[in-house]
Amino acid sequence: MQIKDMSTSVSAGSQAVEVRVCRDLDELQACVELQKEVWGFADADLIPLRMFVVAQKIGGQVIGGFHDSELVGFSLAIPGNRGGHPYLHSHMLAVRELFRNSGLGRRIKLAQREEALKEGIELMEWTFDPLEIKNAYLNLHKLGAIARRYNINQYGISSSPLQGCLPTDRLIAEWWLRSRRVVDFLDRGQAPQVKPDLMIEVPAQVYEWKANPATRARAAEVHSLNRELFLTAFARGLAALEYERDSEGNGRFVLGRWDENWSYGS
């Protein structure tokens, strides 16, 4: 497994990108613009500049990736509290298309972790679509997050054709920043040992199936089967601890029992 370092300026593709906390209103406004570009949201659905400003002022984080002082990636996290413990909810992570798959998304997450640790935060959470193979791979395999909670239809059924009119089910990624698993993995380069109890498969074609009305039913089948498998597995105390992908682009969650007891309640 390849572990990349977190120096402040490394190459993303052939271009140097600096990762750091956003400093002023212009940089925060650039995050809003990049958000528009990456998700194509209508204005009514955009997280506005004011929220980015507030997030920074109340203990959240806005971190950017800069290429020649142009913003090419960002993350937005807001503070939360669970069971009396402060934690961060990372609401957005985006990288401009040209800069993807060069490790920048991961570097921004690592910078989030560094900043959080400076503030004494131990947990960062975010949600992700269980059918999104790339995001699951990044979260579980490249960062060492785990998932053991599942929200059914979190945002209601979206009209986006890319979602294939499926319910917006979400897994909750828990990134325990000081856990043995994450420290061994990120700081020492040792992949976590997982004793698998169950695998949950995601076929690579699921994106095409969702996008095409003629094959949408197949995506819906995978969606409902996997929903049942996750809910049953989580009720048995299992957690998604690893994510594997094969040469054809299929993904699979590896579930087992987590041997650490980090928890703030759910």
Ligand X SMILES: CC(C)(COP(=O)(O)OP(=O)(O)OC[C@H]1O[C@@H](n2cnc3c(N)ncnc32)[C@H](O)[C@@H]1OP(=O)(O)O)[C@@H](O)C(=O)NCCC(=O)NCCS
Residues forming contacts to ligand X in the complex (CB under 6 A) are 38, 92-95, 100-106, 133-135, 137-138, 142, 245, 249
Kind plus residue range of the DSSP H or E element containing 170: strand 170-176
Closest CB to ligand X among residues 103, 256: 103
- Least separation in angstroms between residue 153's CB and ligand X is 17
Which residues make Cβ contacts (< 8 Å) with residue 83, sequence separation at least 6? 264, 265
Instruction: Give the separation between CA 87 and CA 111, rounded to whole angstroms.
Output: 16
Closest CB to ligand X among residues 95, 239: 95
Q: Tell me which residue has its CB nearest to ligand X.
A: 105
- Least separation in angstroms between residue 239's CB and ligand X is 20
Closest CB to ligand X among residues 196, 249: 249
Instruction: Give the separation between CA 115 and CA 204, rounded to whole angstroms.
Output: 35
- Least separation in angstroms between residue 45's CB and ligand X is 13
- Least separation in angstroms between residue 235's CB and ligand X is 26
- Give the pairing type, strands 123-128 and 85-95: parallel
Closest CB to ligand X among residues 32, 263: 32
